[in-house]
Amino acid sequence: MKKILFETHHLYYLPNFIPIIEALRSRGGYDIYVSMPQYMQERERKLCYGACSSMEIQIINADLEATRIEEIKSANFDVIVVGNVGQLRKIVSESTIAVMVYHGIGLKQSYYNDIDQRIDIRAVESEARYNKLKDQGHQNLVLTGYTKLDPFFSYNDQEKNNTKTKLGINSDLPTLLYAPTFYPTSFDKLAIEFEFLSTEFNVIIKLHNFSWFQSRYAYQSVLAKEIASRSENVYLLDNSVYNIIPYYMISDILISDISSTIFEFLPLDRPIIQAECLSLRMRHRIFKRRFLKKLDIPRMQALDFVYKVENPSELFRSVSFACDYPEEMSRLRLEAHDYFLYKRDGNASVRLINEIEKRF
């Protein structure tokens, strides 16, 4: 029996890990654990461990972070999977296979900076990204696809209906999903627009994890609650909803900004609207180069499969057009899927496990 730990620094990393865990269980021969650093907010840790308990995943928890790390090290895991580098070197033994399943594939440079030589296997979601990382000199790469999206290919109508029923959604209206990042975000400028949109559309708002759990961005969840309370067809997903996949499945259109969701929605071949009206901190408005250095500009320029909104006043018109002509960008979306996401088979987790087992 091989022992494998999923070290999740945030609740929203779990959707990347769950398909791998399910594939490991199907294969058999694995003792599976999850752990989260003790210094993370208590509410977030409780939600994470509650979700893992409901899936009967074993948990490593402790009152002190030093104790938690010691428990992990003494367990001598065969494999440890992480969503960012974090404190990887503190928890791996010399014989541990360290695996990186990066938590996001959006438009930020952090994808290329969050790297450690101790990583033995880095799962890469697309051939284009694989080639870029290889050109940068990285040798620990495996082309798998994006594990988070594996459930897309096994979702059924009953699951979709259950999600709609649980949300209490108006079945007579088209459904929009708004999923912004925390910074730089479109939320500040677009938030009020969803009250107007809700007269003709269901609006599901899925905020970033940090909008709930980090004080700097908590104003976003406060404002979203106010809007949802005033608007009959606005549905705010609360901080216990960590998995966006079920809400992709019931949405006709996605609205986002520089979030990974722009790429994650592609398998459904439905319209995507990218809001470019972002709120920047004062230092980034003054020294814009500093801000631009944080972005993956070439990747951003390759987004030819989205409707771009530069001004909040354009949103209603763009949404209405996309809803009336959902097929208009279909060819570009299908091409983008193959470029940004690799194969359409739901087997990214299987490919990763195969690679891990080669290393035993």
Mean pLDDT, residues 285-308 = 84
Per the CB < 8 A criterion, the answer to whether 243 and 14 are in contact is yes
Domains 2-146+344-358 and 156-341 share a fold: yes
pLDDT at 278: 87
Q: Hey, what CATH class is 156-341 in?
A: alpha beta
pLDDT over 80 at 283, yes or no: no
Strand partners, 122: 100, 141
For the chain, what are the domain ranges? 2-146+344-358, 156-341
Mean pLDDT, residues 46-65 = 96
Q: Which residue intervals of 61-192 are DSSP H helices?
A: 65-75, 88-91, 110-113, 127-135, 157-167, 187-190
pLDDT at 322: 97
pTM of the model: 0.95
129-132 long-range Cβ contacts below 8 angstroms, 24+ apart: 129/105, 129/340
pLDDT at 287: 67
Q: Indicate left, alpha or beta for 168 from its phi (over 0: left) and psi (-120 to 50: alpha).
A: left
* The CATH number of domain 2-146+344-358, selected from 3.10.20.30, 3.40.50.300, 3.60.15.10, 3.40.50.2000: 3.40.50.2000
Give tens-digit pLDDT for 245-259: 999 999 999 999 999
User: Per the structure block, which two tokens stand in for 330?
Assistant: 């279909």
Give tens-digit pLDDT for 176-192: 999 999 999 999 999 99
pLDDT at 308: 96
At position 32, the amino acid (one-letter code) is I
Residues of the chain with pLDDT > 90: what percent? Answer: 90
Mean pLDDT, residues 287-314 = 87
Give tens-digit pLDDT for 68-88: 999 999 999 999 999 999 889
